[in-house]
Amino acid sequence: MNKIKIIRSIVLLALLLVITACGAKEETSTKKLELPASGLAKLIIDHRNGEIQISGSTDSDKIEVVALAIANGISMDKLELALEARNENAYLDARFGGQFLAMGSGAVNLDIKVPKQLQLDITAHRDGSIHISDVSSSAKIDNINGEIQVSNLSGSLEIDNRDGDITVRNIGSDISINNINGHIAVDQIDGSADIHVGDGSLDINYVGKDASITQSGNGEVKIGEVKGNVIRNKK
C-alpha cells in the first residue's frame, strides 16, 4: 500500500511539473558584453542551446557580444554568461545552469562581432544554427545539432557535426568536415577538402587542391571542379 501511495505521489508531482512548465510565461533578457582583443589570438565559445551569429569587423579592436536569453519554465537567474580573457585566449560561456525539478528550457542566441584576424573555436554547441562570415583567420566547430553556414573565411576550417545541413563557401585554405546526418554543400575552396559523409548527401564544387571523400551512407554525392586529385572511400 505504501508503495502505491509513493508511486501516485511521484506521478502527481510529475504531472504538476509538466502543467507548470507548459503554463509558464516565456521570459527574455538582452545582455551586452565587450572585451578588448589586443594581444588575444583566439575566441573559444562554450555554448549549449541557441543560435550563434559571428561576423568579422575591420574597424574594431574588441569582441562585442549581444546575448538574447530566452527562459521558458526556468528561472532567468540560472543564466550563466561570461566573456573573459585568460592568457592569449578569450572565453565566452553562455548557457542555463541546471535547476532542481525544472521542466522548462532555456536558450541563448548570440550575435558576436570580432576583429577579423581572431581565430574561432566553438568547442561545445548543442542545439541551434551557427553562421560565421567575413573572418580572416581559421575556425573550428564542434556541434551536435543545427544548421551550419560558413562563408568568406581566409584560414582553415574544421567542422565536426552530428545532425544538420552544412554550407561552406569561399574558404581561403583547407577544410575538414565530418557530418553524420545532413546535406553538405561546399563551393570555392582554395585549399584541400577532407570530407566524411554519413547518412546524408554532398555537393562539392571548385576545390583548389585535393579532395578526399569518405562515405558511410548511401546519399547522393555530386563532384564538380577539383584542381587536384579526387579520392573516394566507402566505409
Report the share of the chain in percent with pLDDT over 70.
87
Q: What is the mean pLDDT of residues 64-70?
A: 97
The grid cell for 191 is: 585549399
Asked if the model's pLDDT at residue 18 lies above 50, the reply is no
pLDDT value of position 7: 59
Q: What is the mean pLDDT of residues 96-122?
A: 84
pLDDT, one tens digit per residue, over 86-105 is 999 999 999 888 654 456 78
pLDDT value of position 185: 98
pLDDT value of position 153: 98
Kindly list the domain boundaries of the chain, sorted by start residue.
27-131, 138-234
pLDDT value of position 63: 98
pLDDT value of position 2: 58
Q: Max alpha carbon distance in the chain (Å)? A: 76
Q: What is the mean pLDDT of residues 8-26?
A: 52
pLDDT value of position 75: 85
Q: What is the mean pLDDT of residues 205-214?
A: 98
Q: What is the mean pLDDT of residues 43-62?
A: 94
Asked if the model's pLDDT at residue 25 lies above 80, the reply is no
Name residue 204's beta-bridge partners.
Answer: 186, 223
Least-confidence region, from 90-94, 123-127, 164-168? 123-127
